[in-house]
Amino acid sequence: MYNVPKELQNLTIAEKLLIQRVSPLVPVIHIKNGILGSRGHIVSCDSY
Amino acid sequence: MFPVIHIKNGILGSRGQIVSFFQDISSIGKVLPRLPSEVQVVKVIRENTNIHGESSTKALTVNCERLIKALKWLHQYNPLYKDIIIDESRMNWMGGKNSCQFNDSAILKGDSENNFIDDERFFFTFIIHRFFYV
């Protein structure tokens, strides 16, 4: 278990985009009716 | 490119095709926060209001104070953020307001009949960006 500090709780998607240093790429595939799965490796890239 | 829909209470789902693009990742930014123009994201939002009066564009709201606090916390405690430079003047795009939207969002106005959708699926947020999440 881990605790998320209150400063990082409730950040919106927009706020996360502005402060992120690393962007993970998750190869997501659509299975059926909005259900998602993952195929392959997950890679994280530096944001520039 | 990841088409996302907001189902309820921050729960996200996916609709449609997912597409990947090449991206130049040759350098890493050290000055944070980034400007909205530096975030490679295209946002198409269908604007709706739920029965409690909350707007569908909430997910793309930026709160300046909350963002700077988060960044300072990361700078202090996260070794990956030790070398960053926090430039608060980069929040000037907000025009002095404490909270506002990404200014390049494309907002599709909901029509009057569908403006109030039932609470179960009260709004539709369609976000496309190249890499998702922190």
Give domain limits for chain B.
4-129
Domain span at A37: 21-48
pTM (2 decimals)? 0.57
Alpha-carbon torsion (B78, B80, B83, B86), positive or negative = negative
Q: Which residues of chain A register pLDDT less than 70?
A: 47-48
Q: Is A1 on the interface with B (CB under 8 A)?
A: no
Shortest Cα distance from A32 to chain B (angstroms)? Answer: 10
The answer as to whether A11 is a domain residue is: no
Total Cβ atoms within 10 A of residue A21 = 20
Total Cβ atoms within 10 A of residue B82 = 10
pLDDT confidence of residue A28? 79
* Bridge partners (DSSP) listed for residue A32: A35
Total Cβ atoms within 10 A of residue B30 = 12
Q: Which residues of chain B register pLDDT less than 50?
A: 105-134
Tally of structural domains, chain A: 1
pLDDT confidence of residue B69? 92
So what's the ipTM on this one? 0.72
Q: Are B32 and B51 in contact (CB under 8 A)?
A: no
**Residue B92 φ then ψ, to 5°:** -65, -20
CA pair distance A41, A28, nearest whole angstrom: 10
B116: which DSSP letter? B
Q: Are B125 and B41 in contact (CB under 8 A)?
A: no
Q: Are B58 and B102 in contact (CB under 8 A)?
A: no
Pick from B25, B60, B71: which is nearest to A12 by CB? B60
| Residue range B22-46, pLDDT digits in tens | 666 555 567 777 776 666 555 555 5
Q: With CB atoms and an 8 Å threshold, state whether B73 touches A8.
A: yes
Q: Which residues of A touch B133 (CB under 8 A)?
A: 13, 16, 20, 24
